[in-house]
Amino acid sequence: MADATGAGTGAAARAERPGLLAPLFTDIRVAAVLGLGFAQGMPFLLVYSTQSAWLSEAKVPLATIGLMSELTIAYKFKFLWAPFLDRYDPPLLGRLLGRRRGWIVAAQIAVAAALAGVAFGDPAHWLAWTVAFSLALGVAGATQDVVVDGWRIAVAPAERQALMSSWAEIGYRCGNLAAGAGALYLADAYGWRAAYLCMAVLMAPGTIAALLAPEPSAVGLPARAGLVETIWAPIRDLVGRLGPLALPVLLLVAGFRMPGYVSSAMAIPLFKQLGFSNTDIATVTKLFGFWIALGATFLASAIIPRIGMMASLLVGTVAGSASHLSLAYLAWHGGHGGAAFWTFALSVGIEGFAYAFASIVLITYMSRLADSQHAASQYALLTSLCALPGSLLAGFSGFVIEATGFPLFFVGTSLIGLPVAALCLYVAHRHGPMDG
């Protein structure tokens, strides 16, 4: 099952690679997925790392900033409502646009409204307002992820999915750039309220893409089932196909990005404490980071077919975890009041490259694990499983730093990767799914 699926996907990707650019202008689905990917790439950063810069400037305690990383909790539990978005039409918009496009537009409207709500908050004096609208932003962004992934899978045949995924990833990186560097630059120039209002307006390209996109062919409503069965069916299918390796594979997915989630919650507070401005942070983490991430994406795409899936996972988790030592060095070295720009750039560049490489490897692995019949629900389940443990631990990161300091904290996050590497070796030894 696994080898055949992997071989087919790889062959399709190789066949489509020479025509990567042309379909953007000849296939409306490809142009639409670029815009939808852009919209997908914005909400998470605006409720997570970008917002932590605003909270730091507002003198919110580090422990509270760490706890506020839990506001992305909807991204960890989106698998719970993903099956219902596949089954039911949204009110009003479903009749006008169809089920999948209707849910996409509804989610994007909710994202824009939540961003506007955050913009009119003041975390220095009324943190509860920011918390409430940030939580709403997380729910809306997670829902958008589910419905856009469902549309992408349903609108194009299997041999077109490699192309669709490539342009979705490019759009996602551009959205990250806007929500990261763009928001930080705007905050420095015009303030945080203007920055978040601009981000709300920037959801418009995604909505235009959804309106222009074709609605996938109707497949009829699934057989009626109870609440528990609706949620349990995709899980049962996934666990059944993995067989005896279900537990180690799911633990591998759950732990793979744990070091990155824990360290990301405190990265920008470190940069701010070292004296770097929003502009410095945006330039290094977002502007330079955009090209670094694209380079890591191309490297991962080249390496995976050559050394195999499990070997790539091992390289990814070791490199991703070890790269946190560069942040530990930066914390130990100090920012010299923001003057040590190139030490900052090199340390963050190493961590960013490794993080992007590991992320692409994991996305590829999870995509191969998902069955086409339950692709949206199972992919939502796997991404939720990937995010949940690390994000829960990230909530305590501020308390850990208050007790140990930044250098020891980042050394500790690097050590989290050791048991995950052991799981990679175990699954590879047992000839697990996607072994090649």
145-194 tens-digit pLDDT: 999 988 887 777 755 665 677 678 788 989 988 998 889 889 988 999 99
Reported as a pLDDT band with limits 50, 70 and 90, residue 286 is confident
Provide, for the chain, the percentages of residues in helix, strand and coil under a 3-state DSSP scheme, each rounded to the nearest 5.
85, 0, 15
Same domain, 169 and 141: yes
**Domain with 64 in it:** 1-222
- For the record, the structure tokens of 211 come out as 């309106």
Same domain, 248 and 110: no
Final residue belonging to a domain, choices 203, 222, 241: 222
Same domain, 341 and 434: yes
Query: Could you tell me how many residues make up the chain?
Result: 436
Helices (H), 156-257: 161-177, 183-190, 192-201, 204-212, 227-242, 246-256
Query: Rg of the chain's alpha carbons, rounded to an integer?
Result: 21
Reported as a pLDDT band with limits 50, 70 and 90, residue 436 is very low
pLDDT of residue 384: 83
302, 307, 354: which is closest to 326 by C-alpha?
A: 354
19-61 tens-digit pLDDT: 456 777 778 888 999 999 999 999 988 987 788 888 888 888 8
Same domain, 5 and 109: yes
Q: Does 266 or 250 have the greater pLDDT score?
A: 250
**Alpha-carbon distances, residue 412 vs 260, 346, 409, 417 (angstroms):** 12, 20, 5, 10
Q: What is the dihedral sign for C-alpha 395, 411, 310, 365?
A: positive
pLDDT of residue 206: 95
Final residue belonging to a domain, choices 200, 222, 244: 222
Same domain, 174 and 233: no
Amino acid at 194: A
Same domain, 246 and 110: no
Q: Does 338 or 425 have the greater pLDDT score?
A: 425
Percent of the chain with pLDDT over 90: 28
Same domain, 37 and 131: yes
What is d(CA 74, CA 250) in angstroms, rounded to the nearest whole number? Answer: 19
CATH number assigned to the domain comprising residue 22 = 1.20.1250.20
- Structural domains in the chain (count): 2
Same domain, 123 and 103: yes
Same domain, 156 and 253: no
Same domain, 120 and 243: no
Final residue belonging to a domain, choices 222, 252, 268: 222
Taking the whole predicted model, whether its pTM rises above 0.85 is answered as no
Q: What is the DSSP string of 121-132?
A: -BTTTBHHHHHH
Average pLDDT over residues 340-349: 89
| Per-residue pLDDT at 222 exceeds 60 | no
Same domain, 165 and 252: no
What is d(CA 180, CA 38) in angstroms, rounded to the nearest whole number? Answer: 13
Same domain, 105 and 201: yes
Distance in Å from the first CA to the final CA of the chain: 12
Average pLDDT over residues 246-271: 88
Average pLDDT over residues 102-111: 96
Q: Backbone phi, then psi, for 122, in 5-degree steps?
A: -145, 90
Please tell me what DSSP assigns to residue 216: P
